[in-house]
Amino acid sequence: MAPLLELRDVTKVYGGGGLLRRREPVVALDNFSLTIDDGRATITAVAGESGSGKTTLAHLALGHVAPTSGAVLYRGRALDAMSRAERLQFRREVQPVFQDPFAAFNPFYRIDHVLTMPIERFRLAASAREGRRLIVEALEMVGLRPQETLGRFPHQLSGGQRQRVMVARALLCRPKVILADEPVSMVDASLRATILASLQRLNRELGISVVYITHDLTTAYQISDDIVVLYRGSVAEAGSAEQVIQKPKHPYTRLLVSSIPLPDRGRRWTGEDLPDVEAPAARRSAGCKFAPRCPAAMDVCWAKPPPLFRPDDHRVASCFLYPDSPVLDSNDVARVFAGAPVATAGAAQ
């Protein structure tokens, strides 16, 4: 079955070469591959800190920027080679939810504007009345009361309400994939659960796949089936969310997980294992990008970049700590996701 959304060997480089001063190019995403299939509706988390490339990934997947090399394909067609009709279908079927609930609304219009526009553009309703019914249904599905929400300006709603309107907008389009880029990081803690629960509901009841981009591993753990952990544009570890987060194998993932401030007095932070993450690297690594900060770095780590080792059926870790594990035969990490069929390394899919 052709994948729905595919990022194939995508690399994105920013900067490099100013007129008077050579600017150091930044590799935001490095030879990254991921597929989202049509058959199974999954929630995939893409986790990383600032500089990991997760935001770049969102922009690429939504077609806002073109990759420096590699391709972004939708239903087998490259984004820049699509016809107008195909492009419109892509726009409808891959919907974003952005981080900032205030800036996502045009302050000039009432919030109804973002809900009526897709109905008109994508011809989702045959009449105005049906359009209105779709809007009311979508709002109710995310737990909002239409009579308290419609007709208002963005500044009259709270951050949580605005974000829920954005989720309603996304689901109104009847998408196949929702790309949520840090959807709850600017929302109060008590509302986060509600919004994330509505994303889960969309996934389970409407069969919409969700790509959940975040820096928060606990929410990623709670709602995702699979997770990809990025470090400086490369995959550090990926696979079933349960395994990767509960028993991380890559030193970077371990560092991330141990740094989570859990509201749990039984799991306290310790200070010993903390490398100085901000000290400038004494030397640059030609191999693994994490080597300068890795407590377990060996000579080989500095020399060549580690491939995606597969220590478990549903996990890959690009780390030389697992040299005896088989290597994944492609760099599409979706192969090891929780619902993917297990095949031995080297076997064609």
Residues 186-205 that bind other proteins (CB under 8 A): 188-198, 200-201
DSSP H or E run through 200: helix 189-206
Site for other proteins in 213-252 (CB under 8 A): 215-219, 221-223, 242, 245-246
Contact segment (CB under 8 A) with other proteins among 165-173, 232-240, 319-327, 331-339 equals 165-173
Residue 122 in the binding site for other proteins (CB under 8 A): yes
Site for other proteins in 257-296 (CB under 8 A): 257, 259-265, 268-271, 274, 276-278
Residue count, binding to other proteins (CB under 8 A) = 88
Strand partners, 29: 12
Q: Name residues contacting other proteins, limited to 72-101 (CB under 8 A).
A: 88, 91-92, 95-96, 98-100
The two beta strands, 43-47 and 209-214, are: parallel
Q: Which residues pair with 179 in a beta bridge?
A: 96, 211
Tokens standing for 58? 């969102």
Nearest to 10 by CA among 86, 45, 62: 62
DSSP-assigned letters across all residues of 61-106 = HTTSS--SEEEEEETTEEGGG--HHHHHHHHHHEEEE-S-TTTTS-
Binding-site member from 3, 30, 61, 105 for other proteins (CB under 8 A) = 105
Interface residue with other proteins, options 106, 128, 303, 323 (CB under 8 A)? 106
State the nearest-atom distance from the C-beta of 256 to other proteins, in Å: 6
Interface with other proteins in residues 136-155 (CB under 8 A): 137, 140-145, 148, 151-153
Q: Rounded to an integer, what distance in angstroms lies between the CA atom of residue 318 and that of residue 188?
A: 35
Q: DSSP per residue over 178-194, as a string?
A: EEEESTTTTS-HHHHHH
Question: Cβ closer to other proteins: 274 or 300?
Answer: 274
- Please identify, using beta-carbon distances, which residue of 69 and 246 lies nearer to other proteins: 246
Q: How many residues does the chain have?
A: 349
Surface-to-core class of residue 170, CB atoms within 10 Å of its CB (0-12 exposed, 13-18 middle, 19+ buried): buried
Q: Smallest Cα–Cα separation from 227: which of 270, 293, 255, 218? A: 218
**How far apart are CB 298 and other proteins at their closest, in Å?**
22
173 contacts other proteins (rule: CB under 8 A): yes
Do residues 9 and 69 lie in contact, with contact meaning Cβ atoms separated by under 8 Å? yes
Give the residue among 235, 232, 269, 267 at the shortest CA–CA distance from 250. 235
Q: Which is closer to other proteins, CB of 11 or CB of 89?
A: 89
Residue 21 makes contact with other proteins by CB under 8 A: no
According to CB under 8 A, which one of 22, 23, 64, 304 is a site residue for other proteins? 64
Q: Please choose, out of 9-17, 22-30, 65-73, 115-123, the segment that lies near other proteins by the rule CB under 8 A.
A: 115-123
Residue at token pair 């105005």: 128
Q: Which of residues 36-55 bind other proteins (CB under 8 A)?
A: 49-50
8 Å CB contact between 162 and 105: yes
Closest CB to other proteins among residues 143, 326: 143
Work out which of 2, 81, 103, 128 binds other proteins, going by CB under 8 A.
103
Q: Of 118, 183, 233, 306, which lies in the binding site for other proteins, with binding defined by CB under 8 A?
A: 118
Minimum distance between the CB of residue 265 and other proteins, rounded to whole angstroms?
5
Name residues contacting other proteins, limited to 289-318 (CB under 8 A): none
